[in-house]
Amino acid sequence: MKLYNFPWGPYPRRVALYLAEKGITDIEQIEVEFPHQPELWPENFLFKLNPAHSLPVLDTGNGMLIGQSIAILEYLEERYPFPNMLGETSEDRARTRELVAIFDEATSFFGLWARQGSRVNAERHTPSAEAALIGAERFASKLRVGEAKFVGPFMNGSRHTIADCVAMALIEFVDQFYGVPVPADCPKLADWYLRLSNSATIRSPRYPQEMLSLAYGLPEQTQIFL
Ligand SMILES: N[C@@H](CCC(=O)N[C@@H](CS)C(=O)NCC(=O)O)C(=O)O
């Protein structure tokens, strides 16, 4: 199998965290330049990989390309069932998937805030303060749902699941790249984030310095404080 990825984006990072936690080392990792510069790629390279032009993409080695991070996590969970990172019972798996969906939605709404409000995206989008505010408010409300559904000590109880990978990839990115702290009314998430940040399998990715210096301080740039 081959994984096309880059190290620091919130969607790619989900898979990187999963591989590290699971101890999977036999998937070839191919690092792709980001931001995407299609003119630098071999002809149609990423389009062939994924019509959405997004990363990560998993080449399963048997004729299939998977271009959605959650589908990749679930696929890998079937190929590498131990240790189980989805859940033992139907209820357990449903809870993990529910948490995954909550933090996936939060990631999309955060993307709206960042795309419409951050200096780092100014070349790609005409900023809209109104859209940025909608994104920020919806992002915060999804985190509150995550707080209410959090089981502890991990997202879904006593073991690390794919929900921890999806949530961690988001919270870490939002904090480290954009300078957005966990909202004060989500103390369980804040505590979980602190604990996991210090665990052996989670080492912060290196962010491109030039982009980081533009991105950092999103609340101040948009005057939206959660
Ligand atoms: N829903 C997709 C989203 C993937 C995604 O948007 N990835 C970003 C990187 S973090 C990307 O490649 N964006 C392409 C672009 O902005 O041009 C997934 O879960 O894999």
CATH of the domain at 52: 3.40.30.10
Q: Is residue 125 located within the same domain as residue 46?
A: no
**pLDDT at site 10:** 96
- The one-digit pLDDT tens for each residue of the chain (226 residues) are 999 998 899 999 999 999 999 999 999 999 887 665 655 666 667 667 788 888 999 999 998 999 999 999 999 999 999 999 999 999 999 999 999 999 999 999 999 999 999 999 887 778 899 999 999 999 999 999 999 999 999 999 999 999 999 999 999 999 999 999 999 999 999 999 999 998 877 888 999 999 999 999 999 999 999 9
Strands 28-31 and 2-5: parallel
Q: Is residue 106 located within the same domain as residue 180?
A: yes
Q: Is residue 173 located within the same domain as residue 100?
A: yes
Q: Is residue 115 located within the same domain as residue 58?
A: no
Residue 175 inside a domain? The answer is: yes
Question: Ligand 1, from 15, 37, 54: best to mutate by most atoms within 8 Å of Cβ?
Answer: 54
From 27, 51, 79, the end of a domain falls on: 79
From 32, 59, 79, the end of a domain falls on: 79
Please classify residue 107 by burial: count the beta carbons closer than 10 Å to its beta carbon, then call 0-12 exposed, 13-18 middle and 19+ buried. buried
What CATH number did the domain enclosing 99 receive?
Answer: 1.20.1050.10
Provide the token pair at 218.
């999103």
Q: Is residue 140 located within the same domain as residue 210?
A: yes
Please name the residue whose Cα sits nearest to atom 6 of ligand 1: 54
Residue 22 inside a domain? The answer is: yes
Q: Is residue 101 located within the same domain as residue 72?
A: no
Q: Is residue 175 located within the same domain as residue 102?
A: yes
Provide the token pair at 58.
């998993």
Domain that holds residue 185: 90-222
Provide the token pair at 197.
């940040």
User: Which residues form ligand 1's pocket by a CB distance below 6 Å?
Assistant: 9-12, 36, 53-56, 68-70
Q: Is residue 68 located within the same domain as residue 156?
A: no
Q: Is residue 102 located within the same domain as residue 213?
A: yes
Cβ atoms of 120 and 215 within 8 Å: the answer is: yes
Q: What is the position in ligand 1's atom list of the atom closest to the CA of 54?
A: 12
**pLDDT at site 202:** 81
**pLDDT at site 44:** 63
Please name the residue whose Cα sits nearest to atom 2 of ligand 1: 68
Residue 85 inside a domain? The answer is: no
- Sort residue 88 into left (φ over 0), alpha (ψ -120 to 50) or beta: alpha
| CA-based max dimension of the chain | 49
Dist CA 226 CA 206 (whole Å): 26
Q: Is residue 131 located within the same domain as residue 100?
A: yes
- Sort residue 44 into left (φ over 0), alpha (ψ -120 to 50) or beta: left
Q: Is residue 128 located within the same domain as residue 205?
A: yes
